[in-house]
Amino acid sequence: MSRTIETARTYLRPSKKLPTVWCAGCGLGIIMAGMIRAIDRVGPNRNDVAVVSGIGCTGRMPAYVDFNTLHTTHGRALAFATGLKLARPGMTVITAMGDGDALAIGGNHFIHSCRRNIDMTAIVCNNHIYGMTGGQYSPTTPHGKRGTTAPYGNVEHAFDCAALAVGAGASFVARTTVYHVRELDRLIEQAIRHRGFSVVEVVTNCHTSYGRMNRFGSPVDMIRWMKDSAVSVARAGSMSPEEMEGKFTRGVILERDMPEFIDVYDQLAQRVTASPAAVEAVVKILESYDRSHDRLRI
Amino acid sequence: MTSEKGKVMVLQGNEAAAIGALAAGVDFFAGYPITPSSEIAELMSRSLPLLDGRFIQMEDEIASMAAVVGASLGGARAMTATSGPGFSLMQEHLGFACLAEVPCVVVNVQRAGPSTGLPTQSAQGDVQQTRWGTHGDHSIIALAPSTVRECFEMTIDCVNLAEFYRTPTVLLSDEVIGHMRESVCFPQAGTFKLESRAVPTEGLPDYCPFEECGEFVAPLSPYGGEYRFHVTGLTHDAHGFPTMVPHEVDHKIRHIVGKIEDRADDLARHEELATEDADVLLFAYGSTARVAKASVRALRKKGIKAGLLRAKTIWPFSGKRLNELADRLDLIVVPEMNLGQIVLEVERAVRGRVPVHRFGRVDGRLFEPDQITDFVLREVGR
């Protein structure tokens, strides 16, 4: 164990940025360390790694890690990451988002990123609440549970993040919890290695807001609940709906081969470059202007 | 940009803007379809795959602008194009690009608003939104073309200024200019200058992406390059990390405003027509300036000494030339396709030394020369 902590430590930025803003006992540090270990195992040059986030407690994660880091606006991490990946396809691009960030204000970017299948990894840190702003209900707050804007219980119904990703067309979808640390490392590693858009939902604890308002106890109590409630995909397959009541699956939920966006785009560019008609059309547009003409790949 | 050796073509303003972008080396475009700007995205989607660039149609304008900023941080010359409703959505990341000092270009082909307004009709209602649309203190550079050729030239200028000042720039076009077709002769390559952002020297022990280091903007290393660094929409220090230290925050905000506003007079570009002996000055920009030109000629025929000062640079606004002319004038008339936006800056510049009369048209139609001519005649008591 000490070796894995050491690995994480070598990727942290100089002490100026530490300690983190996160509450003692928060699961986000576990996810950050898992992400670091996964990157370390995949082994890209760290100059070729970008970690992109939105707003909220999870949004602060990039500041602590020694990669190219981009802390964007609320919900938009994937949109910024999309532009970066298209400009720098050789980079390993990972986004870290909270549940409100990824699925409420960023919901549109999330589903369209799944559909496009650009080779990036989205880590969704699901603590079922808006933590940084003080415990307002989020799109993953279960029906009936309390938040500071749901003082009598949540009227709405929660998104199942992983199911949403599957439905929207992601090519790799997995879920785990901050209790299942070895699985966490492995799933993020698999997600990074997968060529296409990958989603890893990580169930984590916000004992400060969500836990306190719903009397879930200490971080240890909440993590124990994860241990008891998360059922591996293999085991869940042989369980009845009644047995699965109140539980959720963990592991690789979906993995499929789908053409990756930039691969397809570049193949297409090669094809049109070889097509006299297409080149002719663009030359016609640019013919008055010789520098553009020179830049044509013909 | 005076070479006339290029081939003469008949093009619309939007096409010329896209060709200008390609001429300036734009190699990334993210956009969302919107009238009356879509031709730009269409032309970019067609051309970029053949020019080693990439195009993507995003899910909305918020995402388009975000992708543009992300691509620029990766080292691309990145651009988007939109119109009113989309420009409103882009304000979020225009602000991000201002604070994080990320070069990028937005073409706003203005249409009549507010809200959905008149999607196919022209207006100049986004002038103040361009300046103040995103929250917080910041500054911005915006140029307004009046001809198809200027759509080409000013898009190149926008790219150059964005790269040089490390800031977002706006080509403030309008539906009339965007969709108007006229013959245009582009300059030959090599006859205009292309700017590239400053990049840090190799082997720095401590690269500061936001430290001024004696220069007015810090060199910007691309992600995936030699240096790893942090970029955030939080107010940040020289290393890019969030700060709440009052003097660091104060410095940052004054820097992003000052690097542009302090150079307003250098950035100012005008076209003048018959201003030498003018008693009445028309101050106009964009499509309205074309009409104002015809009015100046008509007024001269009627014995009114009229002149035109056409602003090519809209933001930062410079009152320098106006002030040089002001003492010789009896009247300034500001026709614009809104109910008074640039006129506020004109009034502020001349500080009551000469009467400034606003003349707005907001029915989605371009001014007619007689309208402006008649307005001036009435104002001078003829």
Give dist(CA A22, CA A44) in Å, integer.
28
Over residues A98-117, the mean pLDDT reads 98
Q: Does the beta-carbon distance from B50 to A50 stay under 8 Å?
A: no
Is some CB atom of chain B closer than 8 A to the CB atom of A267?
no
Query: Are the CB atoms for B83 and B13 separated by under 8 Å?
Result: no
Query: Are the CB atoms for B36 and A264 separated by under 8 Å?
Result: no
Is some CB atom of chain B closer than 8 A to the CB atom of A4?
no
Give dist(CA A276, CA A267) in Å, integer.
16
User: CA of A53: which chain B residue's CA is closest?
Assistant: B232
Q: Does the beta-carbon distance from A108 to B9 stay under 8 Å?
A: no
Short-list B133, B194, B188, B128, CA closest to B161: B194
Domain for residue B177, yes or no? yes
At residue B271, the pLDDT reads 97
At residue B5, the pLDDT reads 56
| Exposure string for B176-212, b = 16+ CB within 10 A, e = fewer | bbbbbeeebebbbbeebeebebeebeeeeeebbbbee
Give dist(CA B162, CA B177) in Å, integer.
22
Q: Name the residue with tokens 């918020």.
A: B62
At residue A279, the pLDDT reads 74
Give dist(CA A267, CA A270) in Å, integer.
5
The domain ranges of chain A are 2-258, 263-295
Q: Does the beta-carbon distance from A71 to B232 stay under 8 Å?
A: yes
Query: Are the CB atoms for A141 and A148 separated by under 8 Å?
Result: no
- Domain with residue B128: its CATH number is 3.40.50.970
Give dist(CA B131, CA A100) in Å, integer.
31
Give dist(CA A204, CA A208) in Å, integer.
12
Q: Are residues B151 and B291 in the same domain?
A: no
At residue B302, the pLDDT reads 97
Partners of B23 on chain A (C-beta within 8 Å) are 289, 291-292
- Domain with residue B307: its CATH number is 3.40.50.920
Contacts of B246 (CB under 8 A, 6+ apart): none
Point out the residues of chain B with pLDDT beneath 70. Answer: 1-7, 189, 212-215
At residue A237, the pLDDT reads 94
Kind plus residue range of the DSSP H or E element containing A82 = helix A77-87
At residue A3, the pLDDT reads 63
Structure-token pair, residue B145 = 């073309």
Query: Are the CB atoms for A102 and A111 separated by under 8 Å?
Result: no
Q: Are residues B172 and B34 in the same domain?
A: yes
Query: Are the CB atoms for B323 and B363 separated by under 8 Å?
Result: no
Task: Report ipTM (2 d.p.).
Answer: 0.96
Short-list A266, A162, A149, CA closest to A209: A149
Partners of B1 on chain A (C-beta within 8 Å) are none
Mutation target to probe the B interface, by most B beta carbons within 10 A, among A20, A39, A78, A82 is: A82
At residue A2, the pLDDT reads 58
End-to-end CA distance of chain A: 56
Q: Name residue B274's amino acid.
A: A
Contacts of B361 (CB under 8 A, 6+ apart): B335, B336, B337, B367, B371
At residue B67, the pLDDT reads 98
Q: What angle do CA B203, B204, B208 make, to 5 degrees?
A: 145
Structure-token pair, residue A223 = 């993590």
Q: Are residues B14 and B107 in the same domain?
A: yes
Compute the half-sphere exposure of residue A202: CA atoms within 13 Å on the CB side of its CA.
37
Give dist(CA B173, CA B290) in Å, integer.
13
How many angstroms away from the CA of B165 is the closest CA of chain A?
21
Kind plus residue range of the DSSP H or E element containing B12 = strand B8-12
Query: pLDDT digit string (tens) for A27-82?
Result: 999 999 999 999 999 999 999 999 999 999 999 999 999 999 999 999 999 999 99
Domain with B306, as residue range(s), is 269-379
A 31-90 residues with CB < 8 A to B? 46-48, 50, 52, 62-63, 66-73, 76, 79-88, 90
Give dist(CA A176, CA A232) in Å, integer.
9
User: CA of B73: which chain A residue's CA is closest?
Assistant: A84
At residue A21, the pLDDT reads 94
Domain for residue B249, yes or no? no
For A259, the 3-state DSSP assignment is coil
Query: Are the CB atoms for B192 and B155 separated by under 8 Å?
Result: no
Domain for residue B225, yes or no? no
Q: Measured between CB atoms, which of A71, A108, A273 is closest to B233? A: A71
Query: pLDDT digit string (tens) for B133-157?
Result: 999 999 999 999 999 999 999 999 9
At residue B215, the pLDDT reads 65
Query: pLDDT digit string (tens) for B34-51?
Result: 999 999 999 999 999 998
Partners of A16 on chain B (C-beta within 8 Å) are 241
Mean pLDDT estimate for chain A: 93
Q: Does the beta-carbon distance from B50 to A88 stay under 8 Å?
A: no
Domain for residue B199, yes or no? no
Partners of A46 on chain B (C-beta within 8 Å) are 228
Q: Name residue A118's amino acid.
A: I
Count chain A–chain B contacts defined by CB atoms under 8 A.
Answer: 188
CB atoms within 10 A of CB B141: 24
Task: Write the CA distances from B129 to B118, B134, B142, B362, B364, integer angstroms.
Answer: 17, 8, 11, 16, 18
For B141, the 3-state DSSP assignment is strand
Query: Are the CB atoms for A99 and A81 separated by under 8 Å?
Result: no
| Of B315 and A276, more confident | B315
How many angstroms away from the CA of B314 is the closest CA of chain A?
27
Query: pLDDT digit string (tens) for A217-259?
Result: 999 999 999 999 999 999 999 999 999 999 999 999 999 999 9
| Of A150 and A1, more confident | A150
Q: Measured between CB atoms, which of B22, B66, B74 is closest to A286? A: B22
Query: Are the CB atoms for B159 and B72 separated by under 8 Å?
Result: no
Query: Are the CB atoms for B152 and B16 separated by under 8 Å?
Result: yes
Structure-token pair, residue A125 = 């840190």
Partners of A297 on chain B (C-beta within 8 Å) are 50-52
Compute the half-sphere exposure of residue B21: CA atoms within 13 Å on the CB side of its CA.
34
Domain for residue B226, yes or no? no
Residue A298 has pLDDT above 50, yes or no: no
At residue B382, the pLDDT reads 83
For A282, the 3-state DSSP assignment is helix
Task: Categorize the per-residue pLDDT at A292 as very low, low, confident or very high, splitting at 50, 70 and 90.
Answer: very low
Is some CB atom of chain B closer than 8 A to the CB atom of A22?
no
Domain for residue B58, yes or no? yes
Domain for residue B206, yes or no? no
Q: Measured between CB atoms, which of B9, B223, B225 is closest to A288? A: B9
Q: Does domain A2-258 have CATH number 2.40.40.20?
A: no
Mutation target to probe the B interface, by most B beta carbons within 10 A, among A61, A74, A88 is: A88
Greatest distance between any 2 Cα atoms in chain B: 72
Q: Are residues B62 and B181 in the same domain?
A: yes
Q: Name the residue with tokens 């149609």.
A: B57
Last residue of a domain, one of B135, B152, B185: B185
Q: Name residue B303's amino acid.
A: G
Residue A291 has pLDDT above 70, yes or no: no
Q: Where are the beta strands (DSSP E) in chain A?
A: 49-53, 68-71, 92-98, 121-126, 129-130, 136-137, 172-177, 198-203, 230-232, 248-255
Partners of A272 on chain B (C-beta within 8 Å) are 49-50
Q: Does the beta-carbon distance from A294 to B69 stay under 8 Å?
A: no
Q: Measured between CB atoms, which of A79, A272, A287 is closest to B66? A: A79
Partners of B76 on chain A (C-beta within 8 Å) are 83, 87
Say if residue B316 is preceded by a cis peptide, omega within 30 of 0.
yes
Partners of A282 on chain B (C-beta within 8 Å) are 46-47, 50
Partners of A47 on chain B (C-beta within 8 Å) are 224-228
Give dist(CA B204, CA B181) in Å, integer.
51
Contacts of B183 (CB under 8 A, 6+ apart): B8, B9, B10
Q: Are residues B177 and B292 in the same domain?
A: no
Last residue of a domain, one of B185, B216, B247: B185
Mean pLDDT estimate for chain B: 95
How many angstroms away from the CA of A97 is the closest CA of chain B?
15
Mutation target to probe the B interface, by most B beta carbons within 10 A, among A39, A61, A117, A282 is: A282
Domain count, chain B: 2
Last residue of a domain, one of B133, B167, B185: B185
Contacts of B278 (CB under 8 A, 6+ apart): B305, B306, B307, B325, B328, B329
Domain for residue B248, yes or no? no
| Bridge-based pairing state of the strands B306-311 and B270-273 | antiparallel
Q: Measured between CB atoms, which of A76, A82, A282 is closest to B46? A: A282
